[in-house]
Structure 1
Amino acid sequence: MTSSTLTSAQSAALVDILTHHETYSEIEDFKAPGAIKHYGPPFQDSTSASATPVLQTLLSKFILTLPGLRDVSQDFWKVRVSDLIEELSQAELSESYDKGVLGIRKTLATAISALIEYPARGCLFGLPKREEGLRKAEKDTYDISKPDDVLKSWQDCLQALVYGDLVDELFERAAETDDLKKHPALVQGMHEFVVVNIASLMHYTLVLSPEGPTLLRMVENVHRLIPYSVVRQTLKIGNVATMISAMMKVILAKVSVASVTNWIGLSSGAHEGMNLLQQIMSQVLSWDKRDLNSRATKIEKSSTAPPKPVTAALKDWIANRSRAEHEEARRQSKDQNMSIVAVILSLSSGPSVDDLTADQHAAALEYLRIRLSVRDRDEIVRVLCHRNPDHLTALIQDGVSAYTPMIRQVHEAVNLADTVWDFERFTTDMLKMSKPSGPKGQEKPPAVEDYVDLLHRHQSSSHKFLHQVAKNGKEVTSWWRDWVNMVIKQFCRQGTSAPKTDAVADSKATGTNVQASVLKHFAGLPEKDQKAITNELTTYQTYLDDLHWASATRITAVINRTRSTPFGPGAFLARWQSLLDATTITPATAKGPVRLGANKGVREEGRQDIEGNEDVTEDEVEKTIEGSTLEVPSVEQTVKLMGGRFREMLAGG
């Protein structure tokens, strides 16, 4: 092997590193205003290189070709979605660094990145074809009670989906029955693999992640406000046009004086009030704001309260300083090993941080976090609920218009009122079991197996829905069947381009040319750089092997019902946690080192609910998180030497 040649294992590790880094980098870019203006189609007509090629590739191949969504008007993307994304970025929602905890936005952004990098890697580089897997899938010899067979069925199922005709078989069998046991053992094993991984994701999101309690509380509040009975009664209307019109009135109707005066011309641009969806969002966030403000008041009245000039300086920094000034404060905090509170006070005319006791400084950090959280909620409500013109309402109207033919057929094929009832029961069950249970003072959070049981209890509802659609809605089923067949072929190893549409330019990033370009670029690097990258790739490949082995071990424990693993399977969870662990957080003391998301104390602070209580003890959190991810080896040189060029390759440069 020459210095310019990589083994297949090293090549796979290189692809993994570059895709992982690029995906999260592109998601992070959307924090800054203007990112959407350089996205390319469908937000702009220009077909020049996109600034976010991975995200555009996924959007082009999978989303823009969706039945129904492919028929929306150009204003749907170019005006409404584009403006909402831009305004949310301009709102400058708070950073985890300033808050001193891993916030909801960071938690969701890292989770999305960890999940979508898999389809991104698949459609960019393809799924290697394994004849052995195809032959085994044809024999269909799997025992879903055995973890090894479940794991093998997933791998073999991928082969049969991409290189075989399993997609057509699934659609045909779904039209015949809603009984999973009447599907081939291969499909049953794949189904169990998917159920366990979804359960693992739910458990990690709602129980283990820093913002789990907050997310759970928000879901519960939304669930309480949805008028399920009204929705079910509306869906029972036999005439489809009448049903859609009634449902739109339930969800989108606005009743206010301003809406009337704007309509008759007596006013222009006045806020017209909120529809049901906006009222739910506004109400849920207002409940959070109420509790946050209550907590801020307690801090102001406590014995360790920071002086009023300090709290005034913090509020002024949040409300009246520019984005550039906020970024400069973070830079100084990191460079000088000072807390963000200390830097803010140094830039104000008020008291110095030296005038604060350690307890007052800790209270000031918490006060800043609370005020930032309040502002975030205000900005989200402003953009999504109080904007004029109301893009959110227009988006829903456009979407319903595009999906009306599909809604018509599904309404005739399925009892949608029963479907809503099934969803309500599932959500109620999920919320109930997601809370700690046990004797008072000894409460324990739910385990991964509890979420597996939850999905098993309710899976028949989704099977029934799919069966009814496939059996009674032949035309709508054919639309989805064609789309799935088109999408799944994007993962063929030889590489394919996204189908041509009026909404998006042809994808330039295909499995063949990107793979060749990556290896060519590596071969053109100086020998010392090649050696540095090769050393990192060798170590990283060992890490990947260990990662997948650990995931297989956990799925075995879950399927065997040992209840011995505190977190579920899925290599994506380790990637998600590694992104959270690498997040920089302000020092906890006035002068001290910058912390990371992995540092002890950051997680516990993030898990505190609005009232400042924790639903899981500090020891339990630390015990659970320890070992949840393997130590990620450094890939600094690989990213430095090849990351920039990799983005250019994906953009077609």
Structure 2
Amino acid sequence: MSSPTLSSEQLGALLDILVHHETYSEVESYKDPEAIEHYGYPFDASAPGQGSNGKEKSLSPLLQLLLTRLVLPIPGIRDLPSEFWTDKFRNIMRRFGEAELSESYDKGTLGSRKRLASAASVIHEGITRGLLSGIPDGKLPDLRGKYDIHRTEDLARAWDDVVQHLVYGNLLDELFEQFTKTKNPEDHSPAVEAAVNFAIIYIATFLHHLFVLSAEGPYLLKLLDNLHSLIPYTVVIQTLRVGNAGTMINAMVRLFLAKVSVGAFSNWLGLTQNAADGMNLLQRIISLILEWDTGDFRKAVDGIKRSKEGPSELHLAAIDEHLQAPRDQHESSREISRKDEKSIIVAILEAKDKSLADSLTEAQHTQCLEYYSAQLAIRDREKITEVLCRQSPDLTTSIIRDGVSVFEPMIRDIHKNVDIRKHISSVESFLTDLIATSKPKKRDGGQPQSGTIPPSVEDYVALLKRNRQLAWDYLHDFAQGCPDLRTTWLNWAKQSLKFFRQTTDSNNNTTMANGGNCSYNLGEMDGNLQNLFDNLSDDKKSGVKDAIDAHATYLSKLEEMSISRMQNVIDGADDDDNKKTGGNIGGPGVYITRWHCLLDETLVTPSAPKGPPRRGKDVKGMKALGKTEAIASSDTWDPDTLTKREEQAWPEPPDISVVVDALGPRFKTLVADISTKVPRA
């Protein structure tokens, strides 16, 4: 039986499935402290490319591809000594793995780490997909043509045209030159202006999801506000007044990294070695934020302990004992809970004494789940503080010092030629504006309803538009005042963009995917993916192809809905009546739905003593006990209700597990081969 040739849409859908799954599985693997040992270059001593010559290939090939192609060549980072990666960074990653931070399954909610890690994974997969497939070559469009910034189709077309010129044309040189002459890159051409507006709407949608639609939004906002209030902006600005760059850098390093303690003094004298030497200002900021956070969870724990109708001391003692148990016991309890369809609390108590589980009431069981979740949150924060702030040797400070050392020549040049003080003030004012924008709004327009309404996507669009000039001002000052550095960064950017070029045309005539259509040309990946499919047994090909077709249809629907949502945001930003009634709660972006897919698929412990595990979509609107909403008022919005409203219109994703099972391991091997080759540029 001959193998069918997959169409360009099918190949694009297949690549989307495999990259999406592999990216997040690699991110999740770093819960294991041994994962970093199998990353490969640069965390071992081998040079890139040696994996194909007998060395162990990376078990995180997509992450390695991103790091070696785009991150390691960054000016400054490329000058870091090899021991920075093989010793310091690798060991701090091991420490985080050994800390065994909590799982969403045990906590019964999707925590901040889960949401942020999955969001980062989706952004990473988009970049990596571009590295693997490349941008198709073709006739370069006219950037000075007509682009209507009030039409989604024109914004999407402008974005694709700009990307095409960045990868294959001279647009990057022109933009760098533009910044030396003017503070507004959008003056370059109508296409650049429209592309900037396109990007702003996408970024605004992401911020809206993070701070408004997410149940963790008010909590994340509180952390950001705490951090913002602790940064000594005034002292930093005063330090930057020092004219001599070397003196200024030394003063800034001392401000944030100097330690004054008995341990530090005795280490300096040579009386002790690696004694606990206290914390510097940066570490104190980290520990203070986490300690404030921990205090809220401790209040929640104390409330359950004092409850007259709550679980007994024996129940809580068994949970506390389990918290201190080794990793394998935690994994065993989790597996028993999933396999036997019982809650994690029942699994923990039965392992200690079956009668403890039998004696729990429904209400007490709920309180035990909340108690376990709060204790896990306390333990997480203590472990993070220990890893970053209290362990010897102090890898955190050493890593930052290495970073300052390699970037010092750039810092000297910028300090000499650019007034950094006003740009530090710009960062401060933007964060203040972001926090204010993310708070509830009072109803406007003389409406009879009282209370508040949540920020809309249009609010974040307005935030970015009124603050974008801050970024343009810095880039103009940098480009005009530091010509040598401008050339250095231009060369890196040009080399990086070359990795997005296609090396072959793959004998198909389709155009690249964009915001307005769902056509694909994957270059040399066409043949690689077709070979993966061809090597399947005949009995698997049919099921895999059906799943690919379903996913291609799903992606097409997402693209259509994304276009519609972007138009709604564009129209809403120009409509004063829409602003008064609240605006849109949903924006464009296929990546948003891919982010929610990762969250929705997460397994979570049953809420009842017996029953099947829940999914992330069942608890997405819940926040962990103890996560207070210090910024949001008591009459604020309900993220769960908003999220459900926002997601109702999105189509249900198809089951593509048959594709992952059949081709996932082979795709990982394929990418490992690609990532260990000497980078092409």
Matches within 5 A, 1:299-310: 299-310=304-315
User: In the alignment, what sits opposite 1:78?
Assistant: 86
Alignment equivalent of 1:431, drawn from 429, 435, 438? 435
SS in 2 for 1:603: coil
Alignment equivalent of 2:127, drawn from 109, 119, 141? 119
User: In the alignment, what sits opposite 1:248?
Assistant: 253
On the 8 A contact 1:329/1:343 being kept in 2, the answer is yes
Q: Matches of 1:542 and 1:398 in 2, distance apart? A: 49
SS in 2 for 1:20: helix
On the 8 A contact 2:43/2:85 being kept in 1, the answer is yes
Matches within 5 A, 1:438-457: 438=442, 442-457=451-466
Q: Matches of 1:639 and 1:399 in 2, distance apart? A: 39
The residue type paired with residue 363 of structure 1 is Q
Alignment equivalent of 1:517, drawn from 510, 514, 528? 528
Structure 1 pair 608–626 and aligned structure 2 pair: CA distance change class (3 A) = farther
The residue type paired with residue 452 of structure 1 is V
Deviates more, 1:95-104 or 1:205-214: 205-214
User: In the alignment, what sits opposite 1:626?
Assistant: 647
Say whether residues 1:593 and 2:602 are aligned partners. Answer: no
Q: Deviations along 1:533-553, whole A, 9 cap, x unmatched?
A: 111111110100111111111
Alignment equivalent of 2:112, drawn from 75, 91, 104? 104
Structure 1 residue 190: Cα displacement: 0.8
Alignment equivalent of 1:212, drawn from 209, 212, 217? 217
Say whether residues 1:478 and 2:497 are aligned partners. Answer: no
Structure 1 residue 604: Cα displacement: 2.5
Alignment equivalent of 2:596, drawn from 574, 577, 580? 577
User: In the alignment, what sits opposite 1:164?
Assistant: 169
User: In the alignment, what sits opposite 2:559?
Assistant: 548
Q: Deviations along 1:228-258, whole A, 9 cap, x unmatched?
A: 0000011121111111011101110111111
User: In the alignment, what sits opposite 2:514?
Assistant: none
On the 8 A contact 1:567/1:628 being kept in 2, the answer is no
The residue type paired with residue 602 of structure 2 is T
Structure 1 pair 286–98 and aligned structure 2 pair: CA distance change class (3 A) = same
Q: Matches of 2:597 and 2:559 in 1, distance apart? A: 15
Structure 1 residue 325: Cα displacement: 0.9
Alignment equivalent of 1:87, drawn from 58, 80, 95? 95
User: In the alignment, what sits opposite 2:667?
Assistant: 646
User: In the alignment, what sits opposite 1:20?
Assistant: 20
Structure 1 residue 528: Cα displacement: 2.3
Structure 1 pair 181–21 and aligned structure 2 pair: CA distance change class (3 A) = closer
Structure 1 pair 602–364 and aligned structure 2 pair: CA distance change class (3 A) = farther
Say whether residues 1:421 and 2:404 are aligned partners. Answer: no
Q: Matches of 2:539 and 2:354 in 1, distance apart? A: 53
Alignment equivalent of 1:603, drawn from 598, 621, 628? 621
Q: Matches of 1:513 and 1:519 in 2, distance apart? A: 10
Structure 1 residue 628: Cα displacement: 6.4
User: In the alignment, what sits opposite 2:278?
Assistant: 273
Q: Matches of 1:614 and 1:602 in 2, distance apart? A: 20
SS in 2 for 1:587: coil
Say whether residues 1:338 and 2:342 are aligned partners. Answer: yes
Structure 1 pair 401–86 and aligned structure 2 pair: CA distance change class (3 A) = same
On the 8 A contact 2:213/2:639 being kept in 1, the answer is no
Question: Structure 2: where are the runs of 5+ without partners?
Answer: 52-56, 444-448, 506-521, 675-681
Structure 1 pair 605–219 and aligned structure 2 pair: CA distance change class (3 A) = closer
Alignment equivalent of 2:473, drawn from 444, 459, 464? 464
User: In the alignment, what sits opposite 2:191?
Assistant: 186
Q: Matches of 2:418 and 2:589 in 1, distance apart? A: 34
On the 8 A contact 2:374/2:625 being kept in 1, the answer is no
On the 8 A contact 2:300/2:626 being kept in 1, the answer is no
The residue type paired with residue 93 of structure 1 is L
On the 8 A contact 2:620/2:640 being kept in 1, the answer is no
Matches within 5 A, 1:347-426: 347-349=351-353, 351-426=355-430
Structure 1 residue ranges (4+ consecutive) displaced by more than 6 angstroms after TM superposition: 611-614
User: In the alignment, what sits opposite 1:492?
Assistant: 501
Structure 1 pair 263–351 and aligned structure 2 pair: CA distance change class (3 A) = farther
Structure 1 residue 399: Cα displacement: 0.6
User: In the alignment, what sits opposite 2:141?
Assistant: 135
Q: Deviations along 1:597-648, whole A, 9 cap, x unmatched?
A: 111x552245973379784236633543432643111111111111100111
TM-score, length-normalised on structure 1?
Answer: 0.94
Say whether residues 1:314 and 2:308 are aligned partners. Answer: no
Alignment equivalent of 1:56, drawn from 53, 61, 64? 64
Structure 1 pair 26–622 and aligned structure 2 pair: CA distance change class (3 A) = closer
On the 8 A contact 2:70/2:496 being kept in 1, the answer is yes
Deviates more, 1:116-125 or 1:46-55: 46-55
Q: Matches of 2:374 and 2:286 in 1, distance apart? A: 19
On the 8 A contact 1:608/1:614 being kept in 2, the answer is no
Structure 1 pair 622–466 and aligned structure 2 pair: CA distance change class (3 A) = closer
Structure 1 pair 622–396 and aligned structure 2 pair: CA distance change class (3 A) = closer
Q: Deviations along 1:191-236, whole A, 9 cap, x unmatched?
A: 1111111111111111112321221111111111100000001112
Structure 1 residue 428: Cα displacement: 0.8
Alignment equivalent of 2:549, drawn from 538, 545, 557? 538
Structure 1 pair 72–453 and aligned structure 2 pair: CA distance change class (3 A) = same
On the 8 A contact 1:210/1:607 being kept in 2, the answer is no
Q: Deviations along 1:435-472, whole A, 9 cap, x unmatched?
A: 11326972222111111111111111110000111111
Structure 1 residue 527: Cα displacement: 2.2
User: In the alignment, what sits opposite 1:38?
Assistant: 38
On the 8 A contact 1:587/1:595 being kept in 2, the answer is yes
User: In the alignment, what sits opposite 2:570?
Assistant: 559
The residue type paired with residue 190 of structure 1 is A
The residue type paired with residue 185 of structure 1 is P
User: In the alignment, what sits opposite 1:636?
Assistant: 657
The residue type paired with residue 601 of structure 2 is A
SS in 2 for 1:76: helix
Q: Matches of 2:129 and 2:111 in 1, distance apart? A: 27
Q: Matches of 2:368 and 2:137 in 1, distance apart? A: 57
The residue type paired with residue 608 of structure 2 is T
On the 8 A contact 1:313/1:350 being kept in 2, the answer is no
How high is the sequence identity, in percent, across the aligned residues?
Answer: 39
SS in 2 for 1:83: helix
Q: Matches of 1:161 and 1:61 in 2, distance apart? A: 17
On the 8 A contact 1:604/1:621 being kept in 2, the answer is no
SS in 2 for 1:580: helix
On the 8 A contact 1:163/1:492 being kept in 2, the answer is yes
Structure 1 residue 62: Cα displacement: 0.7
Q: Deviations along 1:531-588, whole A, 9 cap, x unmatched?
A: 1111111111010011111111111111112655312211111111110011000000
Q: Matches of 2:219 and 2:435 in 1, distance apart? A: 13
Q: Deviations along 1:62-121, whole A, 9 cap, x unmatched?
A: 110001110011121111111111110111000000000001221111111111101101
Q: Matches of 1:382 and 1:266 in 2, distance apart? A: 24
Q: Matches of 2:504 and 2:226 in 1, distance apart? A: 45
Matches within 5 A, 1:189-204: 189-204=194-209
Structure 1 pair 625–341 and aligned structure 2 pair: CA distance change class (3 A) = farther
Say whether residues 1:285 and 2:290 are aligned partners. Answer: yes
SS in 2 for 1:544: helix
